[in-house]
């Protein structure tokens, strides 16, 4: 990236677009205060800086709030808190899809998700064949917020974005 590309990134516009994506699920009214704040602007500035310096992150920026988009606020029943998104790439993009533990971008099961689904199957559906679809949108749509304690991570490096996301996660958990 060059300085011209840096000047073209409009953080305010990104904040507004990300916030607007939460309208349908009902989260916009509850998270707008943080998303449009200087604290969130710092998160976005960090992500832009990392990307401009060749340290790309996962999932894609447009997917970082997918957990909130798929789990409506009014239907929220349970929160499952994970660590951070899958850090791997695959041929067509990133494994992480913005919903904790879910990996619908690849269509392939990750080990942590497989373990979780096997346990659910053993405890809840012991005599039935269970759906091992790696897209957990179906859980989110039933009121399960599958949230990571960091909504992004550097490709190939787990745990790199915990500190930047801490204010947001604290805000969400305190709010709830």
Which residues carry out catalysis?
Answer: 84
Full DSSP string of 9-74: --HHHHHHHHHHTTTTTT-HHHHHHHHTSHHHHHHHHHHHHHHHTT--EES-GGGTTHHHHHS-GG
Q: Which tokens sit at 85? A: 């998104």
Rounded to whole angstroms, the Cα distance separating 16 from 88 reads 28
């Amino acid at each position: 990236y060059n300085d011209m590309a840096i000047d073209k990134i409009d953080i305010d516009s990104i904040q507004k677009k990300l916030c607007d994506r939460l309208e349908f699920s009902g989260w916009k009214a509850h998270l707008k205060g943080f998303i449009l704040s200087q604290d969130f602007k710092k998160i976005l500035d960090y992500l832009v800086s990392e990307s401009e310096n060749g340290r790309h992150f996962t999932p894609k920026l447009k997917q970082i709030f997918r957990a909130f988009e798929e789990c409506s606020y009014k239907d929220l029943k349970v929160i499952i808190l994970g660590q951070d998104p899958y850090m791997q790439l695959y041929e067509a993009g990133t494994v992480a899809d913005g919903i904790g533990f879910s990996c619908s971008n690849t269509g392939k099961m990750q080990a942590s998700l497989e373990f979780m689904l096997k346990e659910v199957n053993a405890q809840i559906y012991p005599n039935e064949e269970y759906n091992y679809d790696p897209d957990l949108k179906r859980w989110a749509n039933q009121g399960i917020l599958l949230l990571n304690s960091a909504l992004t991570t550097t490709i190939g490096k787990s745990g790199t974005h915990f500190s930047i996301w801490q204010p947001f996660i604290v805000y969400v958990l305190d709010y709830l």
